[in-house]
Structure 1
Amino acid sequence: MKEFQSIIQAYDLYQSQGKSIALATVVHVNGSAYRRPGARMLVTEDGILTGAISGGCLEGDALRKAQSVIFQQKSMLVTYDTTDEDDQKFGVGLGCNGIIQVLIEPIDYENENNAVNLLKKATSNRELGYLITVFSIQNSKSPQIGTVLLSKPSGLIGLESNVGDDLLKHISDQLQELNFSGSLIKNYPEFEVEVFFELIKPITRVLLFGAGNDTVPLSQLAAILGFEVVLIDGRANHATKARFPKVKEIIVATADEAVSKLEIDDQTVALLMTHNFEYECLVLEQLIQHSLPYIGILGPKKKSEKMIQRLENKGLSIKKDNLYSPMGLDIGAEGSEEIALSVLAEIKAVLARKTGTFLREKDGPIHQEII
Structure 2
Amino acid sequence: MPFYRIYMKEIKQITEAYQKIDFSQTRAALATVVRVEGSSYRRTGARMLVLESGEWIGGISGGCLEGDALKKARLAMSQNKATLITYDTTEDDPYQIGVGLGCNGIIDVLITPLDPQNPNNAVRLLQNCIDQRTPNLVVTVTNLSKKQANISLGDVFRFDNETHFNQTFPLNEIRDNILIEVQDALKNTKSVSKEYILEDGAKLILFLEVIPPAIQLLVFGSNYDVYPMVRAAKELGWRVICICNPIKMHPTLFELADEVVPKDFIPSIDTFTAAISMCHDYESDYRNLQMLLKTTISYIGLLGPKKRTNKMYVRMNEEGILLTDEQEKRIYSPVGLDIGAATPEEIALSVCAEIRATFSGRDGNRLKLRQRPIYEN
For normalisation by structure 1, the TM-score amounts to: 0.91
Task: Name 1:149's counterpart in structure 2.
Answer: 157
Q: How many residues align?
A: 360
1:147, CA displacement in angstroms?
4.5
What is the CA distance between 1:90 and its match in structure 2? 2.5
Distance in 2 of aligned mates of 1:47 and 1:159: 37
Q: C-alpha distance in 1, partners of 2:281/2:215?
A: 25
Structure 2 vs 1, CA of residues 218 and 96 (structure 1 numbering), >3 Å: closer, same or farther? same
RMSD of Structure 2 on Structure 1 (CA): 2.2
- Say if 2:215 is the partner of 1:208: no
CA offset digits 1:60-85 (Å, max 9, x no partner)? 00001111111111000001111111
Which residue of 1 is the match for residue 228 of structure 2? 217
Deviation of 1:87 (Å): 3.7
Bigger RCO of structures 1 and 2 (CA < 8 A, at least 6 apart): 2
Alignment match of 1:230 (pick from 214, 237, 241): 241
Is the 1:21–1:70 contact (alpha carbons within 8 Å) kept by the matching residues of 2? yes
Taking the aligned partners of 2:285 and 2:106, their CA distance within structure 1 comes to 51
Q: How far 1:350 moved relative to its partner?
A: 0.4
Residue identity in the other structure for 2:28: I
Contact 1:239 1:252 survives alignment (8 Å): no
Q: Deviations over 1:155-195 (max 9, x none)?
A: 5459835x421133321121233343222222224541222
Report the AA paired with residue 152 of structure 1: D
Which residue does 1:277 correspond to in 2?
282
Distance 1:206 1:212 in 2: 17
SS in structure 2 of the partner of residue 213 of structure 1: coil
* Structure 1 residue 367 corresponds to structure 2 residue 372: no
Give the structure 1 partner of residue 365 of structure 2: 357
Alignment match, 1:101 = 108
Q: Of 3, 9, 15, which residue of structure 1 is paired with 2:10?
A: 3
| 1:88-127 per-position Cα deviation (integer Å, ceiling 9, x unaligned) | 4533342111111100001111111111111111223212
User: 1:122-271 maps to which residues of 2 (within 5 A)?
Assistant: 122-136=129-143, 144-153=152-161, 155-156=163-164, 160-161=168-169, 163-181=170-188, 182-190=190-198, 191-233=202-244, 235-253=245-263, 257-258=264-265, 260=266, 262-271=267-276
CA distance, structure 2, for counterparts of residue 94 and residue 194 of structure 1: 28
- Which residue identity does 2:303 align to in structure 1? L
C-alpha contact (below 8 Å) 1:130/1:199 kept by paired residues: yes
Q: 1:338 to 1:61 in 2, by over 3 A?
A: same
Kindly provide the amino acid, as one letter, of the partner of residue 92 in structure 1. Answer: V
1:50: which partner in 2?
Answer: 57
Shift of 1:21: 0.8
Amino acid in structure 1 at the alignment position of 2:258:
K
Could you report, residue by residue, the CA deviation over 1:22-58 in whole angstroms, capped at 9, with x for unpaired residues?
0000001111111111110000111110000000000
* Residues 306 and 154 of structure 1: CA distance in aligned 2, closer, same or farther (over 3 Å): farther
Contact 1:329–1:342 at 8 Å: present in 2 too?
yes
Equivalent-residue separation in structure 2 for 1:300 and 1:158 (angstroms): 54
Kept in 2: contact 1:81–1:100 (CA 8 A):
yes
The one-letter code of the counterpart of 1:58 is L
Which amino acid in 2 is paired with 1:90? I
Q: Secondary structure at the match of 2:187?
A: coil
What is the aligned partner in structure 1 of residue 128 from structure 2? 121
Normalising by structure 2, we get a TM-score of 0.89
**Is the Cα contact below 8 Å between 1:205 and 1:267 reproduced in 2?**
yes
Is residue 2:96 matched to residue 1:86? no
Q: Which runs of 5+ in 2 are unaligned?
A: 1-7
Counterpart secondary structure, 2:268: coil
* Residues 24 and 105 in structure 1, CA contact (< 8 A), matched pair in contact too: yes
In the alignment, the residues of structure 2 paired with residue 124 and residue 216 of structure 1 have an alpha-carbon distance, to the nearest angstrom, of 24
Query: Which of 7, 29, 37 in structure 1 is aligned with 2:44?
Result: 37
List per-residue Cα deviations over 1:289-316 (Å, max 9, x = no partner): 1111111000000111112222233333
